[in-house]
A and B are shown apart, each in its own frame.
Chain A
Amino acid sequence: MATSDNDRRPFPEDLAMKILPRLPVESLLRFKCVSKKWYEVIKSPDFMRKHLNWSSKKKIPKILIYDHAGCPEIDAHIPPNPNPITLISVSDAPAVVLVPDYLQEFRGMTFLLGSIDGLFLLEREIYGSIFLALWNPATREARSLLSPNFELQKEISNDFGFGLDTMTNDYKVVWFQSPYFSSEEPPPFQPTVSVYSCSRDSWSILQPENGEILRYRREALGTAYLNGAYYMLAFRTTHHSILSFDFGSEVLAEIRLPDDPRPFYGWELELTLLDDSIAIFTNIEKFYYTMWVMIQPGAASFRSINCSNSSENGETGSLKDALTGMVDERVEELLNREENRVLLDGLEKATQRVEIAKKQLAEIQRQELEAKLLKDYITQLETRTSEIAECQKDILEARAMIEEAERSLSVVGDTRRRDASRGTDRDVVNRDEERVESIKAASLSAIVGTLAGLPISLSRITSNSELILPLSITFISCALFGVTFRYAVRRDLDNFQLKSGTSAAFGVVKGLATLGDGPQLELDAASFWSHALDAAVYVSENLLIFLFAGVGLDLCFKLRILSPFPIDRSISETDKI
């Protein structure tokens, strides 16, 4: 059967990869020499991670005890401890005392930090020099780390952290250096953070801005590495914090501790890893612990858990179970809340957006309203402008009228002023002129009257001598009429009643006076009638004479041959000029 074995096709590699991770480390170390292919597979980081995942699923907890006593550097007077490392399996296996030969050079190491994925960090100080190594107890391998190329300060406090950069799967060692804590100010040098990367096999030195906090740091109980970050406590004078160093971003962060009802007594506070949480506990009172469990690494949210330790033996198992249960519950609760918070945040943002939109809309509406108002105002203004234009036109017209009026007024005023200025000497002249005008009127009236009365007088006379008396009477009365007419009518030349009235008055008076010269009135009808007839004839005759005289005068006034009373200065003057 054995002869035919190797004739068959070899077992597929991809299937081997599904089986090998289930093997214990010892078997894998042995199977490295099955073939070169298997060796490569087993040594590959990808396989290691797979193996780690498998073994962590069903790993048996083990306790590694390192006996610090007998370290030649620290306790020179104590004989060296021959078996410093003890591995205790929680399973039924007996405690194994490790005296690994390959660890001989690290016998008496001052620092043992573990474990990340089953790897430990070893540190040893010999006469001021520091040696570091990574130790994998499962493969029984120790790998010395390159010595840093920086000078070690004196009076220095060194602390180391060990963890995994989860992004690059790179194991890193962080080395915190700070002057010993003292109130000395300023400190002799600034704290530094040095990081060793296993994949690069080199150190890098960081000087974080917040490095000052490292002076107040305090190491955790055990290894406080969680999800790519290393945790410590920091005791400031005012408050206490958790320091975290992220292996991925290589950033040092400070998380302020929750405010406890009681003031912290810093040195009674401890930080440790509790399952998958960072926990802080204090034992201010005997058998009484307060724990704060940081739910999400990096977020300063804590859950306070009070636990009383009833038995002095310390039933850590049950305590831990209880705590684990509580923590899980609270993590779930918080996660839900975190999810809710995201939703709420979204809602809040949406609400804000709606609010903003509303505001914008209101603003737009306001602007529209303003625009409308402005438009209205503009139309109003336009209307007013046209009104004003109209008004201005009116005003212009009015002004033109006023100017006109003023012009005419000024003429009148001038005249008046001139009148006034000329004084009494002018009055004398005027009176003389009036007299001349009156004489002119009298003579004109007399001539016209006499001419008008001539035919009547001619009809009554028998001889030329008889003609002289009536003609002279008519002449004189007509002259008087002319003067009277001029003063009676004055400038009211269009008043017909006045003119005809004056003529009528003279005619009636002269006619009736003529009647008085005739025969005596008898008290009988014939005498009465003859007298009435005579009166009518005489009055008619005289009316005719005076009417003619009046018409003649009026005609002369119109033709400006005669000037009515008083004489118009402007006209007369312009005439003169």
Chain B
Amino acid sequence: MASTTETKQKKMLILKSADNDEFEIEESVGVQSETIKNLVEDGFTFVPLPNVYTKALIKIIDYLKKHANKTDSNDEEIKTFDKDFVNTTFDDLFELVSAANYLHISCLMNMLCQTIADRIKDKSPEAVRKIFHINCDYTPEEEAKIRKANAQAFEGQFDESLD
């Protein structure tokens, strides 16, 4: 593992964000993303990412670097890193999900989706609407009808917070 990393050390990639910022990373780090991997295999060393903004890209490069050096000994360290990584606002999470989806980084995608699901599962429909920036398109009567049909699901108190 270490030797292969060393031999590939010289191979570098340049990622360009939607904000036109360029980041140089090792190829071995970048190929954790299926999207980048496919481009590298086609001979590209310059990768424009028109759907990924600089703020998200910096975080994702951090994540990739951390996970590229994954060993048995730093398992705890990575877990802590991941925990901090997702400890952010919904909007940031959505940005990251969007970027991870575009870059096809399945482990990151899985972690982010599960984080979002866990954080919204006890929330009220109103809170979810705000978090996801969704406008309610039901009339009050329609909404009341659905609530009545699923009365069991509306028993008790729900988390109204937006974070």
A interface residues (Cβ-Cβ under 8 A, vs B): 2, 5-6, 8-12, 14-16, 18-20, 22-24, 26-27, 29-39, 139-140
Contact = CB atoms under 8 A, between A and B. Distances in A.
B132 to A, nearest CB: 4
A39 B152 CA distance: 17
Q: For the complex of A and B, list the 8 residue pairs with the smallest distance between their C-beta atoms, beginning with the closest.
A: A29-B153, A22-B117, A29-B150, A11-B132, A27-B121, A30-B153, A33-B146, A8-B133
A425 to B, nearest CB: 142
A351 B152 CA distance: 68
A465 to B, nearest CB: 171
B147 A27 contact: no
B114 interface: yes
Contacts of A10: 132-135
Contacts of A8: 91, 133
Interface string B102-142: 00000001000110111011101100111011111110000
28 contacts: A2-B162, A5-B130, A5-B133, A6-B130, A6-B133, A8-B91, A10-B134, A10-B135, A11-B94, A11-B132, A15-B98, A16-B132, A18-B113, A22-B114, A23-B117, A23-B121, A27-B121, A27-B122, A29-B152, A30-B158, A31-B125, A32-B146, A33-B147, A33-B150, A35-B134, A35-B137, A39-B146, A140-B152
A391 B143 CA distance: 122
Contacts of B114: 22
Given A23-B121, A33-B143, A18 B109 contact: yes
Contacts of A18: 97, 101, 109, 113
Contact of B120 (A9, A23, A35, A36): A23
Contacts of B138: 33, 35-36
A36 B143 CA distance: 10
Given A6-B133, A10-B133, A30 B117 contact: no
B154 interface: yes
Contacts of B150: 29-30, 32-33, 139
A205 B25 CA distance: 67
Contacts of A139: 150
A34 B117 contact: no
Contacts of A29: 150, 152-153
Contacts of B158: 30
Nearest to A14: B101
Contacts of A12: 98
Nearest to A4: B133
Contact of A15 (B97, B120, B130): B97
A34 B125 CA distance: 5
A323 to B, nearest CB: 32
B133 A36 contact: no
A27 B120 contact: yes
Interface in B75-107: 91, 94, 97-98, 101
A20 B143 CA distance: 20
A19 B117 contact: yes
Nearest to A8: B133
Interface of B: 91, 94, 97-98, 101, 109, 113-114, 116-118, 120-122, 124-125, 128-130, 132-138, 143, 146-147, 150, 152-154, 158, 162
B94 to A, nearest CB: 6
Nearest to A26: B153
Contacts of A39: 146
Contacts of A15: 94, 97-98, 101
Contacts of B135: 6, 10, 35
Contacts of B162: 2
A474 to B, nearest CB: 156
A6 B162 CA distance: 13
A34 B114 CA distance: 20
A34 B134 contact: yes
B34 to A, nearest CB: 15
A32 B125 CA distance: 8
A24 B122 CA distance: 10
Contacts of A36: 137-138
Contact of A11 (B109, B122, B133): B133
B95 to A, nearest CB: 11
Contacts of A5: 130, 133
A195 B30 CA distance: 55
B108 to A, nearest CB: 12
A23 B150 CA distance: 16
Contacts of A9: 133
B116 A19 contact: yes
Contacts of B130: 2, 5-6
Given A5-B133, A35-B135, 9 more contacts: A2-B130, A6-B135, A11-B94, A11-B133, A20-B117, A22-B118, A31-B128, A33-B147, A139-B150
Nearest to B94: A11
B54 to A, nearest CB: 18
Contacts of A27: 120-122, 153
A452 to B, nearest CB: 150
A14 B150 CA distance: 25
B115 to A, nearest CB: 9
Contacts of B120: 19, 23, 27
Contact of B113 (A22, A26, A35): A22
B136 to A, nearest CB: 6
Contacts of B124: 30
Nearest to B135: A6
B128 A34 contact: yes
A36 B134 CA distance: 11
For A5, A24, A139, the residue with the greatest tally of chain B CB atoms inside 10 Å of its CB is: A5
B125 A30 contact: yes
For B94, B124, B143, B153, the residue with the greatest tally of chain A CB atoms inside 10 Å of its CB is: B153
